[in-house]
Amino acid sequence: MRLILYSISFFALLLSACNNGPQPITYSQDACDFCRMTIVDKQHAAQIVTVKGRNYKYDAIECMVNDLKEWDRPEADLILVADYTNPGELIEAENANYLISNEIPSPMGAFLSAFSDNNELVLTQEGSGGDTFNWQELKQKFSQQHRH
Protein backbone atom coordinates (compact mmCIF):
# COMPACT_ATOMS: atom_id res chain seq x y z
CA MET A 1 0.00 0.00 0.00
CA ARG A 2 2.80 2.39 0.89
CA LEU A 3 4.50 1.66 -2.43
CA ILE A 4 1.31 2.55 -4.30
CA LEU A 5 1.01 5.88 -2.44
CA TYR A 6 4.66 6.72 -3.17
CA SER A 7 4.16 5.81 -6.83
CA ILE A 8 1.07 7.99 -7.12
CA SER A 9 2.88 10.89 -5.42
CA PHE A 10 5.89 10.48 -7.71
CA PHE A 11 3.77 10.52 -10.88
CA ALA A 12 1.74 13.50 -9.67
CA LEU A 13 4.98 15.40 -9.05
CA LEU A 14 6.31 14.37 -12.44
CA LEU A 15 3.15 15.57 -14.21
CA SER A 16 3.18 18.91 -12.42
CA ALA A 17 6.78 19.47 -13.54
CA CYS A 18 5.71 19.08 -17.18
CA ASN A 19 3.47 22.15 -17.20
CA ASN A 20 3.96 23.87 -20.55
CA GLY A 21 1.90 26.92 -19.68
CA PRO A 22 2.84 30.44 -18.71
CA GLN A 23 4.36 31.06 -15.31
CA PRO A 24 3.23 33.94 -13.13
CA ILE A 25 5.46 36.99 -13.41
CA THR A 26 6.76 38.02 -10.02
CA TYR A 27 6.73 41.80 -10.45
CA SER A 28 9.62 43.70 -8.83
CA GLN A 29 11.62 40.43 -8.68
CA ASP A 30 11.77 38.74 -12.11
CA ALA A 31 14.25 40.14 -14.62
CA CYS A 32 13.61 40.66 -18.33
CA ASP A 33 15.21 37.92 -20.43
CA PHE A 34 16.16 40.51 -23.07
CA CYS A 35 17.36 43.67 -21.32
CA ARG A 36 17.80 42.32 -17.75
CA MET A 37 15.74 45.13 -16.19
CA THR A 38 13.45 44.17 -13.32
CA ILE A 39 9.87 43.60 -14.48
CA VAL A 40 7.62 46.09 -12.67
CA ASP A 41 4.99 47.26 -15.17
CA LYS A 42 1.89 45.01 -15.23
CA GLN A 43 0.50 46.85 -18.28
CA HIS A 44 3.45 46.19 -20.58
CA ALA A 45 5.01 42.83 -19.57
CA ALA A 46 5.21 39.85 -21.94
CA GLN A 47 6.14 36.18 -21.90
CA ILE A 48 7.13 33.41 -24.30
CA VAL A 49 6.68 29.72 -23.53
CA THR A 50 8.61 27.36 -25.81
CA VAL A 51 7.43 23.96 -27.04
CA LYS A 52 9.86 22.48 -24.51
CA GLY A 53 8.17 24.39 -21.66
CA ARG A 54 10.86 27.02 -21.01
CA ASN A 55 9.50 30.46 -20.03
CA TYR A 56 11.04 33.77 -21.06
CA LYS A 57 9.70 36.87 -19.31
CA TYR A 58 9.97 40.46 -20.51
CA ASP A 59 9.52 43.87 -18.91
CA ALA A 60 8.11 45.31 -22.14
CA ILE A 61 6.43 44.01 -25.28
CA GLU A 62 9.14 45.71 -27.33
CA CYS A 63 11.81 43.63 -25.55
CA MET A 64 9.97 40.45 -26.50
CA VAL A 65 9.46 41.52 -30.12
CA ASN A 66 13.13 42.47 -30.41
CA ASP A 67 14.16 39.13 -28.88
CA LEU A 68 11.98 37.28 -31.39
CA LYS A 69 13.85 38.96 -34.27
CA GLU A 70 16.95 36.88 -33.49
CA TRP A 71 15.23 33.90 -31.82
CA ASP A 72 17.52 30.85 -31.88
CA ARG A 73 15.90 28.82 -29.10
CA PRO A 74 13.24 26.10 -29.24
CA GLU A 75 10.10 27.16 -31.10
CA ALA A 76 7.68 29.40 -29.23
CA ASP A 77 4.47 27.61 -28.23
CA LEU A 78 2.82 30.62 -26.56
CA ILE A 79 3.57 34.30 -27.13
CA LEU A 80 1.79 36.42 -24.54
CA VAL A 81 1.47 40.15 -23.87
CA ALA A 82 -0.05 42.12 -21.00
CA ASP A 83 -3.50 43.53 -21.69
CA TYR A 84 -3.15 47.28 -21.09
CA THR A 85 -6.69 47.67 -19.73
CA ASN A 86 -6.40 44.57 -17.48
CA PRO A 87 -2.97 44.95 -15.83
CA GLY A 88 -1.27 41.65 -15.06
CA GLU A 89 -3.49 39.63 -17.41
CA LEU A 90 -1.57 37.99 -20.26
CA ILE A 91 -3.26 37.47 -23.62
CA GLU A 92 -2.09 35.79 -26.81
CA ALA A 93 -0.02 38.23 -28.84
CA GLU A 94 -1.53 37.13 -32.13
CA ASN A 95 -5.06 37.99 -30.92
CA ALA A 96 -4.15 41.39 -29.45
CA ASN A 97 -4.28 44.79 -31.10
CA TYR A 98 -1.48 47.27 -30.45
CA LEU A 99 -1.16 51.00 -29.97
CA ILE A 100 2.01 53.05 -30.23
CA SER A 101 1.24 56.41 -28.61
CA ASN A 102 3.72 58.96 -27.28
CA GLU A 103 1.19 59.61 -24.50
CA ILE A 104 1.54 56.10 -23.04
CA PRO A 105 5.14 55.35 -22.02
CA SER A 106 6.32 51.74 -21.91
CA PRO A 107 9.38 50.51 -19.99
CA MET A 108 11.84 50.58 -22.90
CA GLY A 109 10.56 53.72 -24.62
CA ALA A 110 8.69 52.26 -27.61
CA PHE A 111 5.36 53.62 -26.26
CA LEU A 112 3.83 50.23 -27.15
CA SER A 113 0.71 48.79 -25.48
CA ALA A 114 -1.48 45.75 -26.23
CA PHE A 115 -5.26 45.48 -26.01
CA SER A 116 -7.54 42.45 -25.97
CA ASP A 117 -10.63 44.58 -26.61
CA ASN A 118 -10.62 46.63 -29.81
CA ASN A 119 -13.19 49.06 -28.33
CA GLU A 120 -10.75 49.84 -25.49
CA LEU A 121 -8.00 50.38 -28.05
CA VAL A 122 -10.16 52.84 -29.99
CA LEU A 123 -11.13 54.74 -26.82
CA THR A 124 -7.51 54.91 -25.71
CA GLN A 125 -6.37 56.06 -29.15
CA GLU A 126 -9.05 58.77 -29.19
CA GLY A 127 -7.67 60.15 -25.94
CA SER A 128 -3.96 59.56 -26.55
CA GLY A 129 -3.46 59.49 -30.31
CA GLY A 130 -1.01 57.15 -31.93
CA ASP A 131 -0.96 54.37 -34.49
CA THR A 132 -2.60 50.95 -34.29
CA PHE A 133 -1.20 47.61 -35.43
CA ASN A 134 -2.13 43.95 -35.48
CA TRP A 135 0.49 41.33 -34.51
CA GLN A 136 1.83 40.82 -38.05
CA GLU A 137 2.08 44.56 -38.69
CA LEU A 138 3.84 45.09 -35.36
CA LYS A 139 6.43 42.38 -36.08
CA GLN A 140 7.01 43.93 -39.52
CA LYS A 141 7.52 47.38 -38.00
CA PHE A 142 10.05 46.06 -35.49
CA SER A 143 11.87 43.96 -38.09
CA GLN A 144 12.76 47.20 -39.83
CA GLN A 145 14.26 48.71 -36.67
CA HIS A 146 17.70 48.11 -35.21
CA ARG A 147 18.08 46.18 -31.95
CA HIS A 148 18.40 48.56 -29.01
Domain count of the fold of the chain? 1
pTM: 0.84
Q: Residue 99 class from Cβ within 10 Å (0-12 exposed, 13-18 middle, 19+ buried)?
A: buried
Is 3 inside any structural domain? Answer: no
Instruction: Identify which of 60, 112, 115, 108 has the alpha carbon closest to the alpha carbon of residue 83.
Output: 115
Per-residue pLDDT of the chain (148 residues; tens, 9 = 90+): 655 544 454 444 444 445 679 999 999 999 999 999 999 999 999 999 999 999 999 999 999 999 999 999 999 999 999 999 999 999 999 999 999 999 999 999 999 999 999 999 999 999 999 999 999 999 999 998 864 4
In a domain, 12, yes or no: no
Residue 9 domain-assigned (yes or no): no
Residue 81 inside a domain? The answer is yes
Domain residues for 136?
20-143
Kindly list the strands in the beta sheet with 112-115, ordered across the sheet, starting from the edge strand earlier in the chain.
112-115, 97-100, 131-133
* Residue 1 within any structural domain of the chain: no
Q: Return the DSSP state at 17.
A: H
Contact 131, 100 (CB under 8 A): yes
Closest to 55 in 3D by CA, of 32, 72, 82: 32
Residue 30 located in a structural domain: yes
In a domain, 8, yes or no: no
CA distance readout (Å), 44 to 8, 15, 52, 85: 41, 31, 25, 10
Q: Does residue 79 lie within any of the structural domains?
A: yes
